[in-house]
Chains A and B, each alone.
Chain A
Amino acid sequence: MSALRPYLPVIGLGVLLALAPLFVTSNVALNFLVFTLIIALAAQGWNLLGGFGGQFSFGHAAFFGVGAYVSAIWQMSLGLDAWTGFVAGTLAGAVTGLTIGFLAFRAGLRGSYFALVTLAFAEVFRVLSNSSEATGGAAGLLLPLRIGAQNLQFADRSTFLAFVVALTILVLLLVQWIRGSRFGAQLVALRENEEAARALGVDVFAVKLKAIGLSGAITAAAGVLYLQYFLFIDSNIVFGTWISVEVLLAAIVGGLGTVLGPVVGALALHGLGELVKHLAGDLPGIDLAVYGAVLVVAVAFLPGGLVGLFRRKPAPRQVRKTAPEGGRV
């Protein structure tokens, strides 16, 4: 039983989400839940690399878009089926992650530099997919409507929601397991102090690579879900800066390096966004402006995110270095 204990919060959240379709029946609310959970899943990918590993990517749209485009091309140009397309998209995300990670980490990029290079990769993908024939150019790709479980398209939204919930919970369990594993400990170690981790024998490069590969796969899976749900993608949607921002926002607001953080963060943010849209009417961009403000406030006042608020004990703060004699630095 004690081995299962760390998994209880995830299972609890899973039960809650699984029951949601019983209470939520309006299409608007179902839409909201599906879309929010897709973002939460993508954010969990970001969280693995950024929250646990401390490598802040500003370009996770690269993985989201690769997943969506690979699966779309798999089905439309190659005529293959949606489930293998799901796997192919996810794997393509992993490969993209490993490639970007190999280049960036081998060059020793961290902090601002890593953020910039990931951003640049996402932009390159956006520009390329916007002008290439294979990706439908600026017009994007419209996945033909073929309802049926074998095509990963469902007649009603609540079935799709159930699928997304199942996948989200699966990934949360995986992340919870990683957290307790040796790999998870190494990841946190290099976040806290890379030199110290290396000195203790952690293969920093390999750990980072593993993290970005997994991270890319999870975010790409979310991209495939986006495609299967909305049946339309274009370069500015799936490779757009908005998705890179949303995933990091959800993870940070929810709680960096926590298992439930991305889901809590995505739900809170999108809930807030809807509320603001409701209050402010049709002002374009007002919900995003609020997101930006929330990011600043979260960084300033919520170091543990929303999940941190509910911790019994506050997370241990960084060890304070003793002030030099005679006062302030």
Chain B
Amino acid sequence: MYSPDIIIEALLNGLLTGAIYALVALGLTLVYGVLHIINFAHGALLAAAMFAVLLINQLFGVDPYVQIPFLTVIFFAVGYGLQRLIIGPASHGRDENILLVTLGLSIVIENLLLAGFGSDTRSLNTDYSFNVYEVGPYLLSQVRVFGAAGALVTAALLWLFLSRSDTGKAIRAVAREKIGASLQGIDVAHVYAVTFGLGCACLAVAACLLLPTFYVNPKIGSAFVLVAFTIVVLGGMGSIVGAMLGGLIIGVVESMSGLFLGESLGQIGIFVIFILTLLLRPTGLFGAKA
């Protein structure tokens, strides 16, 4: 039997990881909530963002945290362009086409990364990578605490943006009623692209927060994307609160099942939750009607 200390430490670590998962899922749920499609390229775009952080760090020695504002803007533009120039026009407005186009994009991005960087797993070492905080009897990795804090701040900012700004209101209007919004003079194609851009911006932040602790390789996206899908489905497609809470739950589930079932079987816990949610309650914890 494990001592309670080990279990509590696993719980805390799960919560910290879960916050970053939540940030990745946030981008996905936002896009789903507005465009009503699942962006299969989400994971590949995260991998691209992580490689960007790594590359900038190696070429110019810029600390990952310092890159956040810069990379967020770049990835917003990337997302905006992708939706406006490729996904929108190529899919002729049909949902199943969007699904296929984003799948195609994910294959392209993933394999271009593979061609460009090779299949090696890399990591970025900072001089603070191994610092820890001592909280009572528990040791918490400093960069993980930073990561969780950054994820929560980003989520709060996004929520403020959506609820206060004009663009945020337009996004919510389109999510609720596309045709009605366009009759009010809202440019739906623009709102779609902005939403997609915001989803990608979340990924850029997540990549900067992840890299001091996490390794990266071209396939890393698929590891994250299934976790992100699970969170989004569990929290309810399109729900921001759901994504945050779902992220924390999944983080804890992963670290617990890793502790009790071992590394290789640990992932099963997540998939089982995923399938059960889809089958029994596809609307998730906070979702509106599917």
Instruction: Name A's B-contacting residues (CB within 8 A).
Output: 54, 56, 58, 103-104, 107-109, 111-113, 115-117, 119-121, 123-124, 127-128, 130-131, 138, 241, 245, 248, 252, 283-286, 288-289, 291-297, 299-300, 329
Given contacts A112-B37, A120-B229, A299-B100, 19 further A-B contacts (CB under 8 A): A107-B282, A112-B38, A113-B290, A116-B233, A124-B272, A127-B264, A127-B268, A131-B264, A241-B222, A285-B218, A288-B114, A289-B111, A289-B115, A292-B107, A292-B111, A293-B108, A296-B100, A299-B97, A300-B92
A295 / chain B contacts, CB cutoff of 8 Å: 100-101, 103-104, 107
Those of B6-54 within 8 Å (CB) of chain A: 37-38, 40
Compute how far the CA of A116 lies from the CA of B228 in the bound complex, rounded to whole angstroms: 12
Compute how far the CA of A293 lies from the CA of B92 in the bound complex, rounded to whole angstroms: 17
- With CB as the reference atom, state the residue of chain A lying closest to B86: A296
- With CB as the reference atom, state the residue of chain A lying closest to B261: A131
B57 within 8 A of A: no
A112 touches B104 (CB 8 A): no
Please judge, given known A-B contacts A289-B107, A292-B104, A296-B108, whether A115 and B218 are in contact too, CB under 8 Å.
Answer: no
A286 touches B111 (CB 8 A): yes
**Nearest CB in chain A: distance from B165 CB, A:** 26
B96 touches A56 (CB 8 A): yes
Compute how far the CA of A248 lies from the CA of B280 in the bound complex, rounded to whole angstroms: 27
A56 / chain B contacts, CB cutoff of 8 Å: 96, 99-100
Interface size class of B (residues with CB under 8 A): 35 or more
B69 / chain A contacts, CB cutoff of 8 Å: none
Instruction: Name B's A-contacting residues (CB within 8 A).
Output: 37-38, 40, 86, 89-92, 95-97, 99-101, 103-112, 114-115, 118-119, 179, 182, 218, 222, 226, 229, 233, 264-265, 267-268, 271-272, 274-275, 278-280, 282, 290
A109 touches B104 (CB 8 A): no
**Nearest CB in chain B: distance from A269 CB, A:** 12
B275 / chain A contacts, CB cutoff of 8 Å: 117, 120-121, 124
A109 / chain B contacts, CB cutoff of 8 Å: 278-279, 282
B278 touches A112 (CB 8 A): no
Compute how far the CA of A299 lies from the CA of B104 in the bound complex, rounded to whole angstroms: 10
Compute how far the CA of A329 lies from the CA of B40 in the bound complex, rounded to whole angstroms: 27
B104 / chain A contacts, CB cutoff of 8 Å: 292-296, 299
Compute how far the CA of A309 lies from the CA of B83 in the bound complex, rounded to whole angstroms: 28
Question: Can you identify 9 A-B contacts, CB atoms within 8 angstroms?
Answer: A54-B96, A120-B278, A121-B275, A131-B265, A289-B108, A292-B111, A295-B101, A299-B91, A299-B101
A107 touches B90 (CB 8 A): no
B268 touches A128 (CB 8 A): yes
- With CB as the reference atom, state the residue of chain B lying closest to A245: B107
- With CB as the reference atom, state the residue of chain B lying closest to A116: B229
Compute how far the CA of A156 lies from the CA of B75 in the bound complex, rounded to whole angstroms: 53
Residue of B101, B107, B267 near A288 (CB, 8 A) is B107
**Nearest CB in chain B: distance from A149 CB, A:** 39
B267 / chain A contacts, CB cutoff of 8 Å: 123, 127
Compute how far the CA of A108 lies from the CA of B95 in the bound complex, rounded to whole angstroms: 17
Compute how far the CA of A296 lies from the CA of B99 in the bound complex, rounded to whole angstroms: 10
A119 / chain B contacts, CB cutoff of 8 Å: 226, 229
Compute how far the CA of A107 lies from the CA of B281 in the bound complex, rounded to whole angstroms: 9
B92 / chain A contacts, CB cutoff of 8 Å: 300
- With CB as the reference atom, state the residue of chain A lying closest to B41: A292
B118 touches A284 (CB 8 A): yes
A128 / chain B contacts, CB cutoff of 8 Å: 268
- With CB as the reference atom, state the residue of chain B lying closest to A329: B179
Compute how far the CA of A115 lies from the CA of B37 in the bound complex, rounded to whole angstroms: 11
B96 / chain A contacts, CB cutoff of 8 Å: 54, 56, 111
B115 / chain A contacts, CB cutoff of 8 Å: 283-286, 289
- With CB as the reference atom, state the residue of chain B lying closest to A289: B111
A112 touches B218 (CB 8 A): no
- With CB as the reference atom, state the residue of chain A lying closest to B115: A283
- With CB as the reference atom, state the residue of chain B lying closest to A293: B108
Q: Which 9 A-B pairs have the closest CB atoms?
A: A292-B107, A295-B104, A285-B114, A285-B111, A300-B90, A292-B108, A289-B111, A296-B104, A288-B111
A112 touches B118 (CB 8 A): no
A300 touches B282 (CB 8 A): no
**Nearest CB in chain B: distance from A97 CB, A:** 16
A108 / chain B contacts, CB cutoff of 8 Å: 282
Question: Among B97, B233, B275, which residue has the most Cβ atoms of chain A within 10 A?
Answer: B275
A104 / chain B contacts, CB cutoff of 8 Å: 278-279
- With CB as the reference atom, state the residue of chain B lying closest to A284: B114
Please judge, given known A-B contacts A127-B271, A284-B119, A289-B108, whether A58 and B103 are in contact too, CB under 8 Å.
Answer: yes
A113 / chain B contacts, CB cutoff of 8 Å: 278, 282, 290
**Nearest CB in chain B: distance from A104 CB, A:** 7
B265 / chain A contacts, CB cutoff of 8 Å: 127, 131
Compute how far the CA of A203 lies from the CA of B82 in the bound complex, rounded to whole angstroms: 40
Compute how far the CA of A131 lies from the CA of B106 in the bound complex, rounded to whole angstroms: 27
- With CB as the reference atom, state the residue of chain B lying closest to A55: B96
B100 touches A117 (CB 8 A): no
Compute how far the CA of A128 lies from the CA of B121 in the bound complex, rounded to whole angstroms: 24
A124 / chain B contacts, CB cutoff of 8 Å: 268, 271-272, 275
B103 / chain A contacts, CB cutoff of 8 Å: 58, 245, 292, 295
- With CB as the reference atom, state the residue of chain A lying closest to B106: A292
- With CB as the reference atom, state the residue of chain A lying closest to B104: A295
B226 touches A120 (CB 8 A): yes
Compute how far the CA of A19 lies from the CA of B37 in the bound complex, rounded to whole angstroms: 45
- With CB as the reference atom, state the residue of chain B lying closest to A114: B278
**Nearest CB in chain B: distance from A125 CB, A:** 10
- With CB as the reference atom, state the residue of chain A lying closest to B279: A107
Compute how far the CA of A284 lies from the CA of B89 in the bound complex, rounded to whole angstroms: 30
Compute how far the CA of A58 lies from the CA of B271 in the bound complex, rounded to whole angstroms: 15
